[in-house]
Amino acid sequence: MSVHPLTGAVRPYAWGSRTVIAELQGRPAPTDGLEAELWLGAHPGDPSTVTGPDGPVSLATLIADDPKGQLGEQVAAAFGPRLPFLLKVLAAEAPLSLQAHPSAEYARAAYARQEADPSLPKNYTDAHHKPEMLVALTPFEALCGFRDPVVSAGVLAALDIPSLAPVVDALRAGDLRTAVETLLSWPAGDRPALIDAVLVAPAVPALAADLAARYPGDPGVLVALLLNHVRLEPGSAIWMPAGNLHAYLCGAGIELMAASDNVLRGGLTPKRVDVGELLNVLRFEVLDDPVLPSSPVAPGIITWPVPVPDFVLYRIDLDGTRPPIEVPATGPRILLTVTGDIFAGESVDGTPIEVAAGAAAYAPADAGPIKVAGTGQLFVAAVPT
């Protein structure tokens, strides 16, 4: 069997949707909670299940038992016996936390320190970095990286809040570190009054008003105003390298990242916040354009090039008139159909595996090249070759 049906885990978070993932998979919406993320991969936090000739098995177990066969010699040598990427469907009906992810070098060192000293806060779940990209499935809004601090200074100055003067001065001087550290370290007892003042300011941005209503007393409301506010149409993508502060606001998308769960949060969340460690990993530089341009690969196939060796994402559009298209990747591959009805590879009896809308499949390295056919839209996550 060259391609195996793959079943992912749905993660329930407070910012999730009751309908998006259920509708994608063609099933009733849950009645007892929200669905925020569908995980497709071998991450130990929620590994997917592969259905093979011998029955269901964890993808993590499959890889651990035969890393060279599943990953290929090059991938196994570069990343060890683990799948280096994690594919997700993200469905946000409310803003996610202000967050950033460490670089590979910093993650290795920080995780080693944490493991050697039990008294340190448990900020890191593993020793890996977590660069990530997201392709919008619906109109999508996000805060991505710092914008020009002079522009941000003007926005905060227009609030006409005297206590923010030092932050405005730092921004006018181009000192993002001081501005962010001042806001996130604001005295706890003074925070409610500060955010209340934002709500009654003469020129309060709609974003700040919405976030302040959701997170009263959280200075992350003001930090959000220092970031690029990006609005994506379906098919557009954003790229979040290590150290860039970001927060997804609303919408559904396909997210692909290095296989890590290292997240440092600074606010806009009920989850654990560690401002000091977040400041350690942040890159205090302007991200001029977080939008990631697409690049054609072949007729019906596009990709969004990213500067990391852990993953690559392809989108394949099939109209039912072309002959089968070869997936432009070898090594381990995860396929996710988002619309239509697509057939991929071959099963044990030589017939293609059906991957209907909302369904996924897995192809190991030893499956060799695979082809897809049918009608619809398919995303393929792989390791660059």
In tens, the pLDDT along 298-333 reads 999 999 999 999 999 999 999 988 889 999 998 999
How far is C-alpha 310 from the geometric centre of its chain's CA atoms?
14
Query: What local confidence, expressed as pLDDT, does residue 32 receive?
Result: 86
Asked if 252 and 138 touch (Cβ cutoff 8 Å), the reply is: yes
Annotated catalytic residue 108: no
In angstroms, the CA 231 to CA 292 distance is 13
CB atoms under 10 Å from CB of 377, counted, come to 18
What percent of the chain lies above the pLDDT cut of 90? 91
Asked if 230 and 143 touch (Cβ cutoff 8 Å), the reply is: yes
Given the residues 265, 272, 322, 333, select the one marked as catalytic.
265
Between the alpha carbon of residue 15 and those of residues 12, 20, 140, 210, the distances in Å are: 9, 12, 14, 14
Residues 16-35 have pLDDT tens digits of 999 999 999 999 999 888 99
Question: Has residue 274 got a pLDDT over 80?
Answer: yes
Residues 154-208 have pLDDT tens digits of 999 999 999 999 999 999 999 999 999 999 999 999 999 999 999 999 889 999 9
Query: What local confidence, expressed as pLDDT, does residue 322 receive?
Result: 82
DSSP-assigned states of every residue in 280-342: HH---SB-S--EEPPEEEETTEEE---S-SS-EEEEEEEESSSPPEEPS--SSEEEEEEEEEE
The residues with which 237 forms a beta bridge, in sequence order, are 135, 292
Question: Has residue 349 got a pLDDT over 80?
Answer: no
DSSP-assigned states of every residue in 139-193: -EEEEEEE--HHHHHHHHHHT--GGGHHHHHHHHTT-HHHHHHHHHT--GGGHHH
Greater pLDDT, 348 or 289? 289
Question: Has residue 148 got a pLDDT over 90?
Answer: yes
Query: What local confidence, expressed as pLDDT, does residue 217 receive?
Result: 95
* H/E stretch holding 61: helix 59-65
> What is the model's pTM?
0.95
In sequence order, the 6+-apart residues with CB closer than 8 A to the CB of 60 are 42, 43, 44, 47, 82, 83
Question: Has residue 346 got a pLDDT over 90?
Answer: no
Residues 241-271 have pLDDT tens digits of 999 999 999 999 999 999 999 999 999 998 9
Question: Has residue 278 got a pLDDT over 70?
Answer: yes
Query: What local confidence, expressed as pLDDT, does residue 78 receive?
Result: 96
Question: Has residue 53 got a pLDDT over 90?
Answer: no
